[in-house]
Amino acid sequence: MEAVMKYLKDHEMLNRILQFFFSTLIALAVLFIILRVSRKLFLKLRSKKTGVNVVFGEKIFRFVVIFLCIMWIIMSNDLTKSFGQSLFQSTAVIAAIAGFAAQSVLSDLICGIIISSTKPFAVGDRIELESGIAGVVKDMTLRHVVLQGLDTQTYVIPNSKVNSQYVKNMSYRNDLRSVDFHFSVSYDTDPTFAAGVIRQAIMESPYSVPGKHASPGAAPDYAPVYFMAFRDSCLDMNTTGYFRPDTPTERFRDDINTRVWKALAANHIEIPYNYMNVLVGQRDS
Q: Is 17 helix (H, G, I), strand (E, B) or coil?
A: helix
Q: Is 43 helix (H, G, I), strand (E, B) or coil?
A: helix
More confident residue, 158 or 43: 158
Range picked from 52-66, 210-224, 243-257 for highest mean pLDDT? 243-257
More confident residue, 150 or 99: 150
CA distance 195 to 141: 44
Mean pLDDT, residues 110-124 taken together = 88
Mean pLDDT, residues 117-140 taken together = 88
Confidence of residue 124 (pLDDT cuts 50, 70, 90): confident
Q: How far is CA 60 from CA 27, 116, 161, 194, in A?
A: 19, 11, 20, 53
Contact (CB, 8 A) for 234 and 272: yes
**How many CB atoms within 10 Å of residue 85?**
12
With 60 as the cut, is the pLDDT of residue 49 above it?
no
pLDDT of residue 191: 95
More confident residue, 58 or 91: 58
How far does Cα 44 stand from its chain's mean position?
20
CB within 8 A of 69, min separation 6: which ones? 27, 28, 30, 31
